[in-house]
A = this chain, B = another copy of it.
Amino acid sequence: MAMIGILGGMGPLATVDFMDRVVRLTDASCDQEHLPMVVAHLPHTPDRSRSILAGDELPLPHLLAGIDLLNRNQVGLVVIPCNSSHHWYPQLRERSSAPILHIASTCVAALPHGTRRVAVLATRGALASRIYQDALAERDIQPVVPDEAEQVQVDTCIRSVKAGALEAAGEALQAVLASLAARNIGVAIMGCTEIPVALRQLRSAPLTMIDSTLELARATVAFAMERGWNKAQ
């Protein structure tokens, strides 16, 4: 029986949020029509953003151990609900027998038709890694990186979710979005899986928000349903 492999725990609430989306997006009327998964929830993995900025590879052995765990347990697909980890996507793809969906590709594919420029809300590491800038350039869409004052708020938002301080996370996100809207930016990618958790604190957003957790979950469910993994063998 093929299962979905989730390399998670980065961060913990983001992984729970991702699993919640997968379950809710699955068209099922009883347990047995849902999709089987194996989750390697590894929060001890060193900080991905810090290592990208420092130019070290500290998270890589942890990420590879997670890939190995999932492959040892017969997963037919690997997904990683952590954007910054995709800095090491080439090495993880090389190691994994099962294919790995790329979170930035699924997210950029979901941008509204005709989008010309889009803000990228992500860790400083993911921005330095150019995961989103490169995926957007392939489609001739201009990435807008937050200015320093905005990025400080993005950092606060992400850190607060990881610490369970959702109210503080929501306030920081609201400040970023107001600033981006004042600069006439109409679309933002939530390119860090903590940010959608913070967004739920807000009543509404002043721009169109593209959610990397949701888009990865949609692609995951589509991949698994096409292959009939919802059907008990």
A9 CB, nearest partner CB in chain B, Å: 7
A20-B44 Cα distance, complex, nearest whole Å: 17
Binds B, one of A30-38, A104-112, A138-146, A169-177: A30-38
Contacts of A26 in B (CB 8 A): 12
Verify B32–A46 contact, CB threshold 8 A.
yes
State whether B12 touches A23 (Cβ < 8 A): yes
Contact call A47/B19, Cβ cutoff below 8 A: no
Number of interface residues of A (CB under 8 A): 43
A232 in contact (CB, < 8 A): yes
A228 to B36, CA, bound (A): 30
Is A116 located at the chain interface by the 8 A CB criterion? no
Choose among B24, B32, B41, B46 the residue that contacts A39 (Cβ–Cβ < 8 A). B41
A42 within 8 Å of B (CB atoms): yes
Instruction: Give the distance in Å from the alpha carbon of A233 to the alpha carbon of B26 in the complex.
Output: 37
Copies of this chain, how many?
Answer: 2
Assembly CA distance A163 to B46 (angstroms): 38
Query: For the complex, what is the distance from the CA of A73 to the CA of B13, rounded to whole Å?
Result: 22
In Å, the complex CA distance between A3 and B9 comes to 12
Task: Give A191 to B163 CA distance when docked, in angstroms.
Answer: 30
Cβ-defined contact, B12 with A16, below 8 A: no
Measured in the bound complex, the distance between the Cα atoms of B230 and A44 in whole Å is 8
Query: CB within 8 A of A43: which of B12, B35, B164?
Result: B35
Known: A12-B23, A23-B16, A73-B69. A162 touches B30 (CB 8 A): yes
Q: Are B38 and A9 in contact (CB under 8 A)?
A: no
A28 within 8 A of B: yes
Q: Are B20 and A37 in contact (CB under 8 A)?
A: no
Q: Mark A125-141, 1 if CB is under 8 A from B, else 0.
A: 00000000000000000
- 11 A-B pairs within 8 Å (CB atoms) are namely A9-B31, A9-B36, A13-B20, A13-B23, A29-B162, A30-B162, A32-B43, A32-B44, A44-B232, A72-B72, A72-B73
A interface residues, Cβ below 8 angstroms from B: 1, 3, 9-13, 15-16, 19-20, 23-24, 26, 28-47, 69, 72-73, 159, 162-164, 232-233
Give 6 closest A-B pairs by Cβ, nearest first. A34-B43, A39-B39, A44-B232, A37-B41, A12-B23, A12-B34
